[in-house]
């Protein structure tokens, strides 16, 4: 945010990448993590529940809710970066597709923005790992393919995602060709050429050779 920061927790289904529940808090007391967990469990109970080893997830108040339901508790091992790769990929998408672009001024604006974004992420954003389908299509078997009012509301990424879909339009409304955001997406920034140290040395020798040849040429008057 423009000033201060908040903590974000989310519960996702690994198979479909569907965000089951999420929550915001200005402290790490763990209560908001338990609220997100309970909200997620109302939608179904998994066989295994994985978290990292943060104090919010290792507390008895958190793990007891899983054990009472017969859910196996899994935690990321030390040095195993791939254990939580799915949730880390979600954090990257949230940051680069929403938070960094909008720079929310306060917690109220952030909560409204995340409500919109997670709705878009679940129901409108196609995933290459899911064969171009959305998390909702895989998780619930939805086949409508349209973006709801929540996803259409002032979202650059809704337009981009819907252009990738077979319907070619967000929901039941055609794309607006005059939309400045759409125009910006149609003209992406040029890709910079990447170089290696070896390529830089080769280029430097080539340039020096050209300079030597110029100095050895007789002047033409």
pLDDT in tens, 52-64: 889 999 999 999 9
Structure tokens at 64: 């007891």
The answer to whether 157 and 97 are in contact (CB under 8 A) is yes
The encoded tokens of residue 72 equal: 């196996």
Between 17-26, 39-48, 132-141, 204-213, the lowest mean confidence (pLDDT) is in 204-213
Give residue 76's pLDDT: 80
Helix (H) or strand (E) run with residue 38 in it: helix 31-41
| 122 or 194, which is more confident | 122
Reply yes or no on whether the pLDDT at 163 is more than 70: no
Mean pLDDT, residues 116-143: 90
Give the CA distances from residue 168 to residues 58, 162, 194, in Å, rounded to whole numbers and listed in that order.
45, 6, 33
Above 90 in pLDDT, residue 200? no
134 or 145, which is more confident: 134
Which domains are seen in the chain, by residue range?
7-152 (3.30.420.10)
Side-chain-side CA neighbours of residue 43 (13 Å): 13
**Angstrom distance (rounded) from CA 161 to CA 132:** 10
At residue 210, the pLDDT reads: 58
């Amino acid at each position: 945010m423009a000033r201060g920061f908040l903590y974000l927790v989310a519960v996702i289904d690994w198979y479909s990448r569907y965000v089951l529940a999420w929550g915001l808090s200005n402290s790490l007391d763990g209560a908001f993590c338990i609220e997100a967990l309970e909200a997620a469990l109302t939608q179904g109970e998994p066989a295994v529940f994985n978290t990292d080893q943060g104090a919010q997830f290792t507390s008895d108040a958190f793990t007891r809710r899983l054990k009472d339901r017969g859910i196996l508790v899994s935690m990321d091992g030390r040095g195993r970066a791939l254990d939580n790769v799915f949730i880390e990929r979600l954090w990257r998408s949230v940051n680069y597709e929403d938070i960094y672009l909008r720079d929310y001024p306060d917690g109220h604006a952030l909560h409204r923005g995340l409500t919109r974004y997670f709705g878009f992420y679940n129901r409108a954003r196609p995933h290459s790992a899911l064969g171009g389908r959305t998390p909702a299509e895989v998780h619930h078997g939805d086949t409508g393919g349209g973006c709801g009012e929540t996803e259409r509301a002032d979202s650059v990424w809704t337009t981009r995602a819907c252009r990738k879909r077979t319907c070619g339009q967000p929901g039941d409304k055609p794309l607006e060709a005059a939309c400045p955001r759409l125009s910006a997406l149609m003209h992406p920034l040029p890709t910079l050429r990447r170089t290696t140290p070896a390529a830089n040395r080769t280029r430097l020798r080539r340039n020096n050779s050209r300079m030597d040849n110029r100095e050895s040429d007789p002047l033409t008057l």
